[in-house]
Every structure is written in C-alpha cells, then in structure tokens.
Amino acid sequence: MKPWRQSFMMVLVLLAACTHTSHIALLSDGNLDGRSLAGVRPGRTLQGEDCGMSYYLSNAVRDALDDTGYDTLVDVEVTSTASAFPFNQCLKVRGQGVRSQDLPRTGDGQ
C-alpha cells in the first residue's frame, strides 16, 4: 500500500465514530409514585445531551428538561457516540415531555 493511502486510512479510522441507539419508554426526574401512564398526552419533543470524557444519562435528561416545565420524558431515543477522541463522545436523548403532576393517580382513590 502506498504511504499516502496508508496515512489516509489511518485518518479515516481516527475520525470514524461508533454510534448506538436505544429506545426507552420512560425517563423521569419527577415523582411518579401512584401515577398511571395510561392515556398520557405527551407534550413537545425535547432534546438534551451530555458530552466529554465522561457522560451520564441523568445529565442528558436534565439538559432536555431544563427550563421547560416538564419533568418526565416518554418514548425516548438514546444515542451514544464514541470516537477515538474523548472530547467527541456524547450521549443524546430525544423524547416527548410530560408533567408528572398531570398524570392521573391510581388505586388509592385520589
């Protein structure tokens, strides 16, 4: 292999990123005790992320919910991206916003 091709291939390998997407039904920072999700009417689509050397799902969810009035995400798509460079690693969330206090209570007559 010619030297320039070998260098080009090395650059491509270093710049390439691995991405994985998962679907999660519910992520919440609210109080869901005794609440039912049956018939939930989700609000607008929210997105958040946490990137860097270390990243956390909880930080990505808080980023999505910040200053929105929502405290829960439903039908969430979670995408993690990893690369050869630590600063280029991210965890992104995208889901529908819900207010936990708007969910109906179940079973205890309230």
Q: What is the DSSP string of 82-104?
A: EESSGGG-EEEEEEEEE-GGGSP
Dihedral angle over CA of 103, 108, 109, 110, nearest 10: -40
Domain boundaries, the chain: 18-99
Straight-line distance from the first to the last Cα atom of the chain, in angstroms, rounded to the nearest whole number: 73
Amino acid at position 50, single letter? D
Q: Which residues contact 24 (CB under 8 A, 6 or more apart)?
A: 76, 78, 95
Q: What is the pTM of this model?
A: 0.78
Q: Residue 71 has what pLDDT?
A: 94
DSSP state of 35: B
Q: Which helix (H) or strand (E) holds 5?
A: helix 3-15
CA distance 54 to 91: 10
* pLDDT tens, residue order, the chain (110 aa): 677 777 777 666 666 668 899 999 999 998 888 888 887 888 999 999 999 888 999 999 999 999 999 999 999 999 999 877 777 789 999 999 999 988 888 875 44
CATH architecture of 18-99: 2-Layer Sandwich (3.30)
CA 96 to chain centre: 11
Q: Residue 108 has what pLDDT?
A: 56
Q: Residue 106 has what pLDDT?
A: 83
